[in-house]
Amino acid sequence: MTLPTSLDDLLKLAAQTGERIAPLAAGTDAGRDDGHESYRILRESGLLALLVPRHVGGAGLGFGDYWRVLAELGAHHGAAALGLNMHHVVIGALADADGTRLPPAAEAFRTWMLGEVVNGRKLFASATSEAGRGAKLRGMRTRYRLSEDGAHYILSGRKSFVSLAGVADYYVVAAAADNGTEESGEDTGEVSHFVVAADDPGVTFGAVQHMAAMHGTSTAPMTLDEVRVPRSRLYLGVEGMSLFKVVREPHWMVAGYTGAYLGIAEAIFRHTVDHVTASPARAESPVVQQELGRMSARLRSARALVHEAGDLVTAERGSLEANAMVHAAKYAVGEVGPQLAQDALRLCGSAAVSRSHPLERLIREAQFAHVMPAKPQECLEYLGKAAVGVNLYDARAFAW
Tell me if 326 is assigned to some domain.
yes
- CA 183 to chain CA centroid, Å, is 30
pLDDT of residue 182: 47
- 130 and 234 belong to one structural domain: yes
Helical pair 286-316 and 63-74, crossing angle rounded to 10 deg = 150
Q: How far apart (Å, rounded) are the C-alpha atoms in residues 222 and 32?
A: 23
Q: Name the stretches of the chain with pLDDT < 50.
A: 182-185
Q: What is the pLDDT of residues 198-240, one digit of tens each?
A: 999 999 999 998 777 788 999 999 999 999 999 999 998 888 7
Cα–Cα distances in angstroms (integers) from residue 110 to residues 51, 87, 119, 125, 241, in the given order: 13, 15, 14, 16, 16
Q: Is residue 2 part of a domain?
A: no
- Considering the domain architecture, whether residues 92 and 39 belong to the same structural domain is answered as yes
| pLDDT in the model for residue 187 | 54
Reduce the secondary structure of 312-357 to three states and give it as a string. HHHHHCCCHHHHHHHHHHHHHHHHHHHHHHHHHHHHHHHHHCCCCC
Give the pLDDT of residue 382: 94
Residue 218 shares a structural domain with residue 351 = no
| Same domain for 228 and 99 | no
Identify whether the C-beta of residue 250 lies closer than 8 Å to the C-beta of residue 326: yes
148: containing domain: 126-239
Quote the DSSP letter at residue 77: -
C-alpha 106, offset from chain centre = 24
Q: Please check whether residue 123 is in contact with residue 167, taking contact to mean a CB–CB distance below 8 angstroms.
A: yes
Distance CA 156, CA 345 (A): 46
* pLDDT confidence of residue 297: 98
